[in-house]
Each structure stands twice: as C-alpha cells, then as structure tokens.
Structure 1
Amino acid sequence: MKTTKFLGSIGVVTAAALTLVACGQSSNTSKNDNSGAKEASKFPAETPKKATKQGGTINVALETDTPFTGIFENGLSTDNYDSQVMQFGNESLFDVTDSYKITSNGPATFKLDKNAKTITITIKKGVKWSDGKQVVAKDLEYPYEVVANKAAKSQRYTGSLANIVGMEEYHEGKAKTISGLKLPDGENGRTMVIHFKRMTPGMTQSGNGYFLEWADPYHYMKDVPFSKLEGSDQVRKSPIFFGPYKVSKIVRGQSVTWVPNKYYWRGKPKLDKIVISVISTKSATQAVKSHKFDIADVVNSQWNQVKSTKGVDFVANIPLSYSYLAFKVGKFDKNKHKNVMNPNAKMNNKALRQAMAYAMNIDEVNSHYNHGLSFRVKTLIPQQFGDFYDSSLKGFPQNLKKANELLDKAGYKKKGTYRVQPNGKPLTIHLAAMSGGINAEAIMQNYIQQWKKVGLNVKLTGDRLMEFNSFYDKVENDDPSIDAYVAAWSLSSEPSQNDLYGEDAPFNMARFVTPENTKLIKDMDSEKSFDRAYRTEVFHKWQKYMNDQAFVVPMNNNYGITAVNSKLTGYSTKPSKGNSVWFNVGFAK
C-alpha cells in the first residue's frame, strides 16, 4: 500500500513510495521469513537494454485504496499519488547524477555563484509546453508566486524559500513582486537569476528546498486568481507540461491517459499512449500475475505469490523514504506561519514517547508480514546519505522492560490494566493511522496490544483506520482527536531537515519546536557546513537529539519492487535516468 506524504523536489522523488503496512500475507509466511530481501538485493535498478521500436500502449498501475486527489500543479500538490500520475509529463528543470547532483544536461542549465549569492537558471531553446509555447523566464518565476502567495494556500512555503531576497515581503503582502528573482532578458527571455540572503552547502543537490525545480505555464494560468487556482480547470482538468507526454483524458480520481507531446525537446517519445489507473492494493498481486498492467509495484507481503510470474522483469530499489510514529505536541499558527508547541500537551513527555517506541515489535512485524522486504530504520536520516547517517545509533528495538521502567520513573502509575497520568488522571492515547491492505488493521491492532503490555491505553482515532485524504486533512489541521499518528515521508534528495522539522515548516506536523532543534537545523545549512566534516558532525548530533527526544520515531523503510512487462525496455529507477525515463520507455524490437 502506498501511503506516502510527498515532500521534496518534484521530478526527482516522484517515483519514491513507501509500503507502510502490509497488504496481504501468503499462507506459507513464516514468523522469521526474510527471504525477500535476499532476492530483492539482486535485482537491477533498470530493465535490460534492448533496441526499441516505435508505438504501442502501456498500462501503469496506481495502487491505492482511495481516489487520487488530482491536483496537477507542483506547488499545490503534496501527496505522492498525484506525483505518480503526473510523472509522464511533469519533467523537472534539471537532470541529475546518480548522487542527485544537479547538472546542466536537462531542460535548463544551472550556475551557482557563491560569492555573488546567486543561482542562474536558463531554459534551453526548444523546451516547449505541450501547446507549443516556448518555456520562458516568467514560467520560472511564477511558481514562486504560487507557493508564496497566501491566497493560493500552498503548503510548500518554508523558511528555506524565505532565504530568497524579497520572498518574505511578498509572502506577507508587503510587496507585489519578489525582488530577489531577476529576469535579465525580460519575462519572455529564458533566464532567471535568484538572489539569496545566504548560500547553503546543499544548493548544488536536487531537492535542497532553497529554490524550486519546476516551471509553470504562466500564459496558461495567469488569468486564474491565486485563490481559485487549486480548483481550476488549468490544474484539475487540463494541465499542461513540457515533458514527453501530454494529458489526453482524465477520469477524475481514477485514471489519466497520456499521449505524446509533439513539441517535446528531446525528440519523439517511443509509446503511442500511457494509461495510469487506480487499482486496489488488494487486487495488485493478481494484476501482476495476470499481466493486466505493464508496470505495477509489488505488494511486499505478497512477494512469494508473484515472484515466479513469467513475462516480467523485476526492478528493485530502496527509496529515500521512511514510515514513522509522531506525537502531536502543538499547533501550526497560520498567521505567524510557524509551529507553536504546547508544554501541556498530553504527549509532551519524553519518557512516554520513548516508552511507546520501545514497546513496538517492528522487527517482528516486518519479518512476519513482509518477508524481510521492509526493515526497521534507526534514525531520521536514511543510510543512503552516506557519512551523514549515524550508524552508531540503535533506534528503538523492542524492549518492554525499558518501556516499563521509563513509565514507572516518569510517574505513569498503573491502576488496574492501564496507567494513569502523573497527575492521577486517566490516560487514553488516540492514534491516527491510514487504511490499506488486508493486514493494515491487524498490524495496528498488534501495536495497540504491545502498548497494552506496558499499561498504555491506545485507541484508534474514530475507532477505525482512516482514509488517506481524510487522515492528512486531520493531521495537517491539528485535529484535537489525534494525539499520535503513523505516516510516511517520501524524501528530498538533499538531507537538509529544515522543510520537514523546522520551526516554520508546515510539514513539521508533530509541531515540536525547541531551541536545540532550531539551532541544529540552522547549523546544518550554515556557511560553516560548507565544510563537510562539520556538516556531518551536525547531522550526527541532530540524529542523536531526535532519537533522544522521540517526537518523531522512525519505523520502516523497504525494498520497492516493480514488475515490468519483459517486452518493455528503457525503464529505470536510477536518479540519473529519472528525468528522461518516460522518453526512453518503449517496446523492444
């Protein structure tokens, strides 16, 4: 099941998704079955290279138990489903290396001047929208207005973007334009120069959050007021892109049909048509086995049922993502655009949070349900970030004795089956979690029983698992019926944490703010952090601090396995191929 809240650079992490809960269990799954990980680790990151012929239609599965939202504008969309639907036309401004370093090989060139505190972006001549119009400088500037104008209600305005000169003034309505965005050749030129207050070490990496990596068709959207943009036909019904395919037909919430963009700058794409359609996670395995779809993600819990399927190539990777348990400790002040912590919040007790983390049997769940294809993560910095990842940390392996000791010491005394608060009042913790596949309910009930073992009375918010869109609506708006929640991130490819856990980050949905966290996050993006050794030290300190505070507890990541029709070639999960992958996918000769 895909239950990932999307964050980061559009076009780079659009393919990343996370299996948060299992969606089925084969009858022969043993308690300690880790066979899947051994098999997945041998799979390539792309399909075999073959000569490609022109033409053909492919069907792509969008595995979800809820309709996709259908917000097809990068500054307004926040979930991974819409990103998956858009990927065939939604090309990023920049190509990247396999380590996500920005290059000038893509639709736009990139030049950073550290001394001048500028980045210059130039769109290449011939990069055109699917209506034939050249992408111009105003198309580079306009996305910043969408994100920063309060009327548009984007969730992507952050403190990182406020580092652009004039961005705060525009966001606050004190200026009509963003003074730090310069168009030296005018709106119809092809160059934009971004002026920053300070430079940060991650700016050469895609997904750094300090500037945007997409364009919007200003000529097509300019007549729509910001307040009506999200619901407009330009965003919902007839979006246009400059990638290899253009939208032909949308069945709202269910499917989108794509056909070639005849103006595509790299040339003519290989396929005649791509149809991406919603399919229930419960039906995904049968769809793979019956070849109903040419490209479909494998449900990890059902790996044994599909691994012998003929006529498919399995492609695997470990995405930049993780699931997590978070505790609500405050609210987001929309007027001040910052998170405000409540010292009296029910979950604002470190011992309580740590105890809940230690009570969970995450390793056992992963082995029992997912054949080892899911695995416990130990910090909020994924291992893929190399030396920034602190390998010395153990995270929260199951330890019921430690959980009980923490609660006892903190004054959560038992009265009968359950513990009470230190003030003697009853303690009931309301947990929000998303609905999904066959085992979603069982896994959550398992954790509730684990917490009961240490005397904690945890109940599902509303007494049931929640639908994806409803879940995020409640979490983002700090619904008082939620004390804790289980969710997942699809991450940016630059490890700065400002947009996820900063004081003014809307995505900091636990709403925790401390002077130490703010200092560490600022340090990791500071001038000093151009020294990689210093930045590494800051990342290690932050991971230790976050594990100690346990406001957000990392849970799982997983192997992502995709079944691809063996007649296809050109499909890849490599970052360097991500921007051009759909231009290359086609049927082998």
Structure 2
Amino acid sequence: MKKGWKYSLPILASVALLTACGNGGNKTDSKSAGKTPSQNKLIEFKDTVERKGKEIKGGTLKYAVVTDSPIKGVLNPALYTDGLDAEVLQFLDGDLFTKGEDLRWTNDGFAKQEIDPKTKTVKVTFPKGAKWSDGKPMTIDDYIFTHEFIANKNYPGVRYPFYVGSIEGAEEYHVGKADHISGIEKVDDQTVILHYKEMTPSIKIAGGTLLAMCIPKHVFENIPMDKVMECDQVRKNPVSFGPYKLVSMIPGESFTFEPNEYFYEGKPTLKKVIAEVVSSNNIVSEMENGNYDIGAMPADKFDSYSKSPAFDILGGKSFGWNYTAFKFGKWDKAKGEVAPDPNAKMNNKSLRQAMAMAVDNDLIAAKFYKGTRTGGNSLIPPVFAENNGQDPIKFDPAAAKKLLDKAGYKDKDGDGFREDPNGKKLVINYATMAGGQNDQTMALAYIKWWNEIGLDVKLTTGRPIEFNSFYDKVEHDDPEIDVYAAAWNSGNDPDPQEFWGRKNQFNMARYASEENDKLIADISSEKAFDDKFRMEAYDKWQRFAKEECFAFPTANKMSILAVNKRVKYFDVKHDNFPDKGSWQNITFVQKERVK
C-alpha cells in the first residue's frame, strides 16, 4: 500500500508480509553471471496514468484481490501477516506517518515524528480532534496501548520484538516483570516520547522499527489475548482511522466499504469501494470485460493482456522476491526464538549448496515470465541500494554432483538416488504453494533438476498447496516439509532481522547461528548510522547468506497493475505525498467502466 492510504507496489509496502509466489518479477543486477541479454532485458512500465476529461466524484470503485485462496480476514494492523489481508486493510488503515521517495518517514500525514539519535528518543505527536471510525477520540493513549498490545507476553502476532522490543522497559513488560513500558513517556493527550535502549538507522525507514500503526484502546483493552485473533472486532466489525469503514462482507470473498465520516483529511471522493476475490485464471478476462477498476495482473500471462483497450498497465520495482528455504528446526514459544535441530536433515551446507546450484532460475524466469522477472542474486532484492551486486549462485549441476560426492552423499544401493553420509535413505520433502497457471509445471521442474543430481525429492502432499494451508504448515513447522518455496515482501526496510533473526517468528526456516546473529546485529547497530559501515555490514551478511545457503533467492519481481481507463489519475510511485491518487481522492472520467 502506498502509505497515506494508497496502493503502491506492493500493497502495504511499508510492512513485511508473507506473499504468494505466482505473480511478479523485478529488476536484477547487470553483473549477474550466466544470463543472456534476452534474459536480462526487462519491460519498462509506466508508473502513472492521468486521463483528460471532466472529473466525476462519487460512484463505486471495484477492486480485485487476485488470489486462488480465500482471504483470512484478519482486519487488524497489529495482527495480520499476509498480503491478502493487507489488500483489504489498505482501505481501512494506513501508516501514521507519510514517506518520501527515499522511503524515509516524512511529516506530511496524520502524525508527526521527531527522531533524535543522540538522545535515542522519538517524539510522536497526534493531531487534536482526531476520531476513530466509530466517532470515539483517537489520542496518544491508543498509540501507547498499541505498543503494550504488541509487547504483551500472550500477544498472538509476529511483530514483537521487531517494532517494540528496543524501547526501554519493553522486555521487562513482555516477560511480566513490569506493568508498563518504562520507556514510553506520555507528555499529553497528543504527544509521547519513546526512549530507546538502542537506536538504529531502521527507525528512520518506513516499515522500520518505529511503530507506525495504531489500534483503538477502547475496543481491545478488555479482550483476552487468547480470544483476540477470532473476535468480531478483528474479523467482522473493525474500528479504523483510514478513509473508509467496512459496512458488509462475505467472509473470505468480498468486502464493501463506505466513507469514514471521521477521516482526518475529510470525506473521501468515492461513494463506495468493493474489494472482491478474483482468481488468477480469471483476472485478465474480468479486467477486459470492465468488471473491475483496479487489479494486480499475473506476470506469466502478460502477453495476453499487454495491449488491452480496457485498461492501462502500470508497473514498478517490487519489494517482493521469491526464495527457496531449508528447514532447520522449530519455533520455541517459551523462549521466543527459533530452536535449530543439529540433526535436521538439511543441516548440511554442502547439501544445501548443491540443491541451489542444481536449479536454473534464469531459465524459469525467461520461459514463464518473459520480461517481468529475473533470477535473484541476493536475499536483499535489487530494488534496494543495499543489494551488493554479487553474482547469483551459478547453475552448475556437474559441480553440484561433485559437492555431494565430496560430502558423502552417494548412491549405495543402486536405485539412482543418494543416501546420506551415514548410508541412510534420504528423501527430501519439498513444499510449494498453488497459484498461477504454471505452479505444477515449475514445481516438477525443480524436482526434476534435483533428481538429476541424485536427490530423491518428493512434493509435499503430492501437489502445490493452497496459499493459507501452505503458510500454516510452514509456520507450524510441519515435519513433512524439509525445503519450501515461498515469497516475501520485505517492506521498505531491507534489514534482514525481521525475516532471518533468531527471535523473529517470520524466520520460518528456523535458522540461527552466532555468526548470523553478529552480522545482523551490525546492520542493526548504532554504528550503522555511518553509511559506509552500514553498506559494508549489508555486504558481509549477503556474502555470508550466500555461502551458508540457509535459503537462496529464486526470482526478483516486477509488480503489474491494471487500471481501468475510466479512472482519472492513479500512480504506483513509492512516495506518498502529495498524492492525488490516494484512495480517498480517486475520481473517474466516465460513469461506466471501459470494456
């Protein structure tokens, strides 16, 4: 979402999210080895559309949530985890602060922030007279409560400790040694000063460690944590502060919004917004038939809609990327950290490296995503300057075989597949998610490549797994998953702490090591306020991640959006102020959608 209530690429770009594999691609580094010019050449998309004609306010905007799975419907900014819920939430909520093209926080929106690295404090100020969608006052007490909600020891979400843990007294509150967070200093009903134990450059970045979300205290203060995830206030009747409020829904399928009369910027231009699930197989025809105004488009079908007369195509660099990761252990809820198993099947670096070397990600990108995707070179996508431009893992099945031989993985019973170094049968369970017209084909291609280097790899459940079920299995450390292919939206902050840190639930590979801890800590240290140190720290971590191969990138994405030609103005730029294309400002040039 283009924070400040606007779609960007991807939606809710400020926040890290679990996403689907099927759509998108991204710009890659020109130094990448093993690529032909045709594989490197990406389509140049425009990022703005503005149409001439008299501006028509009001009307209903229909927005397509493109997915082959139902939407979970976790309509709370502190609790949701995936991009589908984010697409619904973008009409209800947004960040408290705006951001500029450099992805740093600015002060042009709802709240103001003053960050002082010298004193390790942040002063946050809310406007007077602000109200929630139910008409109740929205004050700094709500912002303070949101910190306490996330830091609660029974909090069922995934945002602790990344967003709150570095505030003084947060950990004491989290473990039950204190009844409040000592580092939160309320000044008045509109102002708070946050005192940090340590402050890093991430705090200045949209989606970084400064909490930019807020939930209503009067709604959630008396709801037990063990019931909050399924309560009506999260699932059916959310109270929000964005431009629209939810008025009706068909769970998992459709959501209808009307203007929030208390929205701080004034009444939105649209009379109604309807967000509906549309399958990836149907979105092209639905957009061409004029059934929706806006919808994300499948990259693997680009040729079929690239010249449609019904809509404009916008695109841009994506913060999302696809990857393959190896399972190392489980999540230890009591300790609040990952618990790697030293005897895990995939706890052999040579095995992991060989599997990464055996797959041709550039071929997949060229064959199925012509001009909209490239193979990846790093776990930091190239949309960020922090991507170090390193060569990708080279496709080299012969070298992969030699590596396995040297590590003791050999076929000892003559069945064509290698046993492990102890001579035991080795079967590797590979999970991937359903979505898109080529999901099964690509899954089988990876398995074939691994079979060709002598590894017996089986597809978990025998087929690609539905989006919600897939992440449920991965997050709960299903023993039938050894390797999995997934996608991640890193948000605006490339800091790997949230996804690969020891104490973060989003570290679904459950990987941890002292060296990884140290390198990530350097990125998140006060020393990293020095740009040279910070870039060197990112470079060291990326080289380490490539060598250890606890996961490897498979694709960088372009995000593609279709906008019906009746929409007067829309853009997918990364900044969000000023922004006449925000959801509250959308207008049309004609009443009916173009077909």
The TM-score normalised by the length of structure 1 is: 0.92
Distance 1:254 1:10, change over 3 A: closer
Distance 1:34 1:243 in 2: 45
Instruction: Give the C-alpha shift of residue 215 in structure 1.
Output: 0.8
Cα offset for 1:359? 0.7
Offset at residue 573 of structure 1 (A): 1.6
* Partner of residue 305, structure 1: 304
In structure 2, which of residues 37, 45, 48 is the aligned counterpart of residue 46 of structure 1? 48
Q: 2:194 — aligned with what?
A: 194
Following the alignment from structure 1 to structure 2, what is the Cα–Cα distance between the partners of residues 35 and 270? 44
Point out where structure 1 has 5 or more consecutive residues left out of the alignment.
1-8, 24-31
- 5+ residue gaps, structure 2: 1-9, 25-34, 591-595
Q: Which amino acid aligns with 2:384?
A: F
> How do 1:253-402 and structure 2 match up within 5 A?
253-386=252-385, 388-391=386-389, 393-402=390-399
Report matched runs for 1:554-569 at 5 Å. 554-569=553-568
- CA distance in 2 between counterparts of 1:277 and 1:401 reads 48
CA displacement at 1:36 relative to structure 2: 11
Q: Matches of 2:343 and 2:36 in 1, distance apart?
A: 43
Structure 1 residue 117 corresponds to structure 2 residue 120: yes
C-alpha distance in structure 2 between counterparts of 1:126 and 1:47, whole Å: 35
CA RMSD in angstroms, aligned pairs only: 2.2
Is contact 2:185-2:194 (8 Å) kept? Answer: yes
Distance 2:72 2:62 in 1: 20
Q: Whole-Å Cα distance in 2 between the matches of residues 411 and 33 of structure 1?
A: 35
**Given the superposition, is the C-alpha separation of residues 237 and 263 from structure 1 closer, same or farther in structure 2, using an over 3 Å criterion?**
same
For residues 579 and 270 of structure 1, the distance between their equivalents in structure 2, rounded to whole angstroms, comes to 16
Displacement, 1:56?
1.0
Q: 1:533 to 1:33 in 2, by over 3 A?
A: closer
Deviation at residue 175 of structure 1 after TM alignment: 1.7
> For this pair of structures, how many residues does the alignment match?
566
Equivalent position SS for 1:384: coil
**Cα drift, residue 579 of structure 1:** 9.5
Offset, 1:552? 1.0
2:130 counterpart residue number: 127
Match of 2:32 in 1: none
Amino acid at match of 1:192: V
| Matched position secondary structure for 2:281 | helix
Q: CA deviation at 1:220?
A: 2.4
Q: Distance in 2 between the 1:87 and 1:175 partners? A: 35
Amino-acid identity (%): 38
In 2, Cα distance between the equivalents of 1:547 and 1:33? 22
How does 1:101-112 map onto structure 2 within 5 Å? 101-112=104-115
SS in 2 for 1:248: strand
SS at match of 1:517: helix
Does structure 2 retain, via aligned residues, the 8 Å contact 1:149–1:171?
Answer: yes
Distance 1:22 1:77 in 2: 21
In the other structure, the counterpart of 1:217 is 216
Q: In the alignment, what sits opposite 1:168? A: 171
Alignment of 1:509 with 2:508, yes or no, is yes
TM-score normalised by structure 2 residue count: 0.91
Q: Does 1:408 align with 2:409?
A: no
- Closer/same/farther in 2, CA of residues 16 and 479 from structure 1, 3 Å limit: closer
Q: Output the amino acid matched with 2:50.
A: P
In the TM superposition, residue 22 of structure 1 has moved relative to its aligned partner by 6.6
Say whether the 8 Å CA contact 1:183–1:192 is kept in structure 2. yes
SS in 1 for 2:249: strand
Equivalent in the alignment of 2:158: 155
Between stretches 541-550 and 89-98, larger displacement belongs to 89-98
Aligned letter for 2:193? Answer: V
Shift of 1:35: 8.1
Aligned residue for 1:91? Answer: 94
2:92, 2:242 within 8 Å by CA — same for their partners in 1? Answer: yes
Inter-partner Cα distance in structure 2 for 1:15 and 1:284: 25
Query: Separation in 1 of the partners of 2:243 and 2:17?
Result: 20
Distance of 2:398 and 2:331 partners within structure 1: 35
Partner of 1:468: 467
* Counterpart residue number, 2:480: 481
Q: Does structure 1 conserve the Cα–Cα contact (< 8 Å) formed by 2:21 and 2:433?
A: no
Once the two structures are superposed, what CA deviation does each residue of 1:533-553 show, in whole Å capped at 9, x if it has no partner? 011111000000000000011
